[in-house]
Structure 1
């Protein structure tokens, strides 16, 4: 091998080592560190729209390019290809609400391995090694607040209470159900009959309320752990002629649920602050990208809304558009 050939090979190897040949996981691109992508749990849901508004506002204020891509259903099989597509473009950071605390670990680890900063917003993985930060409501506390609120609404009346959850493996709603279950034991007049899953479909929530009423005619309360189950539960009670007779505590303050609260179809809502979750997620992503101080776990406030105080807490109402 000639001296010239050795020199050329050495130059080629040096170029590859410096990035000319690409690195594993970067799709042959150095990416755009001034771009952030938000991947919500589902499209067209007021909670995530409100989060998107906070995300866009905060990221653009700091000069970041933004993109939002959401699955049409809260489903890991629909969210995974979105993550894969985002990975190919390699933004600087991804804010994501994982739709399953186990199934989304693999796709999200690919983001991390590609050098993308991952921030969990709203929901989170069981694996805490992937995201640099998790920003979420204190969901277990939210469930406790729901139990306390339902007990006040029952006003000492004895009867059964039901929890309608969305999908098993959804970290936020599972925490809400746990908080409720632990807290409701403090009220001996209320008999907890367990939780049922609705697959995040309002029609399933409605049918499960109907079935529970048939099996438990002493039903005095329902806690719905998210807005789809809340809207469905309100429909089920309305169809059974039990609106107001059975106290319904929902979670989230979508326009439809706020309307139902004002009309008396829902007796209380446990509202989150999704815009603040979005803004805070951006702050943590920027800190990770720019070498600032990153806080691993951040919890945002919740509030119980009733018809009597809802108008003084309008800042917690969710949006349908930014």
Structure 2
């Protein structure tokens, strides 16, 4: 990883090109009979199943997928559950498998609960690429593409640490346990906090991807621990709710908030001074590389087993420059 100092005075990862962490998958480009798949007259068909519909992170990823697919002459369908919930995502995957696309790009909503339906897709000869989140056993996928989530959590703590050099209590607001990406972000933050004895971590609270619940969690935490100096919100909806909770508690400007993800609402909160830093992923790049890996598999070419993308720390100092360029889109 390449670290650099931002104008905010924190350590940040550069928005670099993808880093390949593992070797190639030897048999990625075959169908259920062991033969390389061939496109139909309209090109390959790619299904993208989001972690949750309406999330600007996944919308931006969709834009990257559509642009890459269009350039390759492939078609794309997009579906996602209304909540980040495997019980809602599973029937969507079952329907996708029944429609028999050539490839499936999916962000699993649980590391174990989604293994069965995704395995069924692979067993049906559909080339599977895991984007953003992953599974405990991802062996059925031809590639896994995600951000360096552990490093992102470390960088989030570095931002809080720089803003509060005397230390204090810190809190993580995440989504649900069992989600690979947010679990890694929280782990990175907690590991970094443990290295500085001036800080005391209050642990991880889960907001179920609900901004209103995140706001309630934060308001209650600030009442019980008025000496909290920093809160790390591990995804877009947690960040939105955390900022609201701090405002409701009347603690604007007193608590350093670092949010993971950079949707329009989070960017506005940064501009308003409610949030002090955002950790922006590269969802469009994840999507485009997902298409590239799926097409390689369909053509019988080698694929990269694991790919990590970088992220950008957005602050008030760079929001009108490179930071703003890393912000997410609400439509393609």
User: Where does residue 94 of structure 2 map in the other structure?
Assistant: 84
Given that residues 224 and 249 in structure 1 are in contact (C-alpha distance below 8 angstroms), is that contact kept between their aligned partners in structure 2? yes
User: Where does residue 159 of structure 1 map in the other structure?
Assistant: 168
> For 2:258 and 2:218, how far apart are their aligned partners in 1?
13
User: Where does residue 304 of structure 2 map in the other structure?
Assistant: 295
> For 2:252 and 2:199, how far apart are their aligned partners in 1?
19
Q: Residue 305 in 1 paired to residue 298 in 2?
A: no
Deviation of 1:186 (Å): 2.2
Given that residues 111 and 134 in structure 2 are in contact (C-alpha distance below 8 angstroms), is that contact kept between their aligned partners in structure 1? yes
Q: Residue 190 in 1 paired to residue 202 in 2?
A: no
User: Where does residue 4 of structure 1 map in the other structure?
Assistant: none
User: Where does residue 247 of structure 1 map in the other structure?
Assistant: 256
Q: Which runs of structure 2 are paired with 1:227-306 in the superposition (5 Å)?
A: 227-306=236-315
| Per-residue Cα deviation, 1:104-155 (whole angstroms, up to 9, x for no partner) | 000000000000000000000111211110000010010011111110111x
Q: Residue 53 in 1 paired to residue 63 in 2?
A: yes
Query: Which structure features the higher share of helix residues?
Result: 1
| Per-residue Cα deviation, 1:232-269 (whole angstroms, up to 9, x for no partner) | 00000001111110000000000000000011010000
Deviation of 1:60 (Å): 1.1
> For 2:154 and 2:179, how far apart are their aligned partners in 1?
18
> For 2:204 and 2:214, how far apart are their aligned partners in 1?
11
Q: Residue 37 in 1 paired to residue 37 in 2?
A: no
RMSD: 1.5
TM-score of the superposition, structure 1-length normalised? 0.89
Deviation of 1:315 (Å): 1.9
> For 1:102 and 1:312, how far apart are their aligned partners in 2?
40
Deviation of 1:158 (Å): 2.9
| Per-residue Cα deviation, 1:53-73 (whole angstroms, up to 9, x for no partner) | 000000111011111011111
Moved over 4 A (4+): 30-33
> For 1:312 and 1:190, how far apart are their aligned partners in 2?
32
> For 1:165 and 1:110, how far apart are their aligned partners in 2?
30
Given that residues 31 and 91 in structure 1 are in contact (C-alpha distance below 8 angstroms), is that contact kept between their aligned partners in structure 2? no
Task: Answer with 179-188 or 43-52: which moved more.
Answer: 179-188
Given that residues 202 and 228 in structure 1 are in contact (C-alpha distance below 8 angstroms), is that contact kept between their aligned partners in structure 2? yes
User: Where does residue 218 of structure 1 map in the other structure?
Assistant: 227
Deviation of 1:31 (Å): 9.5
User: Where does residue 6 of structure 2 map in the other structure?
Assistant: none
> For 1:185 and 1:86, how far apart are their aligned partners in 2?
44
User: Where does residue 27 of structure 2 map in the other structure?
Assistant: none
**Aligned with 2:44: secondary structure?**
strand
User: Where does residue 66 of structure 1 map in the other structure?
Assistant: 76
Structure 1 gap ranges (5+): 1-22, 25-29
